[in-house]
Amino acid sequence: MELQIIQQKIFEIRGCRVMLDFHLAELYQVKTRVLKQAVKRNIKRFPFDFMIQLTSDEATLLLNQGVSQSVIPSGYNFGGTLPFAFTEQGVAMLATVLRSQIAIEVNIAIIRAFVLMRQLAIGYDELLKRIEDLEASTDSQFNEIYQALTQILSKEQEEKRVKRIPIGFIKYDKEK
């Protein structure tokens, strides 16, 4: 299973990275209804930090973001039951509920995708800190250059204001 395909199915909802039930059902090669039934039969395994049920506003927001074809499968009916969103821990728990070889293999790939995304986020944080440090050091250097240029320009303007006595040979007219 390609990690890139899985990463495209991970979304941020309520500040958590989650996967939606119909995407998981597709990956596990089961119907969404079957996945939801297995979850409902084992609901104690899915506390609020493992699984959330989207509100109709959240589901509508997904549709209005312009990514409905890739996020919400065509024909998905929100009128019946709203989608479940599973966190990384919830996805791990799904393997214990579904108990198939495909579920185990897919779960391993999904967990790897979550871990890779977390590592990338940490890498971005480190890169951002380095850029901020670089900006701070270059800001002070540019500030010194700016001060030096300002000082040079002010000296040039001052020199223009001072009346200079001409140096060199002056020719006088004798007729005067």
Residue 133 lies in a domain: no
Q: What residues make up the domain containing 53?
A: 3-126
Domain count, the chain: 1
Q: Which residues touch 71 (CB under 8 Å, ≥6 apart)?
A: 11, 20, 62, 63, 65
* Tokens (6 digits) for 134: 């670089």
Residue 40 lies in a domain: yes
Residue 171 lies in a domain: no
Structure confidence at residue 66 (pLDDT): 46
Residue 151 lies in a domain: no
Residue 13 lies in a domain: yes
CATH for 121: 3.10.260
Residue 44 lies in a domain: yes
Give CA–CA dist 90/72, Å, rounded: 20
Q: What is the pTM (predicted TM-score) of this model?
A: 0.58
Tell whether the torsion through CA atoms of 6, 1, 118 and 123 is positive or negative.
negative
38-94 pLDDT, tens digit per residue, is 989 999 999 988 998 888 888 777 766 644 444 455 555 555 678 888 988 888 888
Residue 147 lies in a domain: no
Q: How far, CA to CA in Å, does 62 sit from each of 7, 11, 14, 66? A: 17, 10, 12, 8
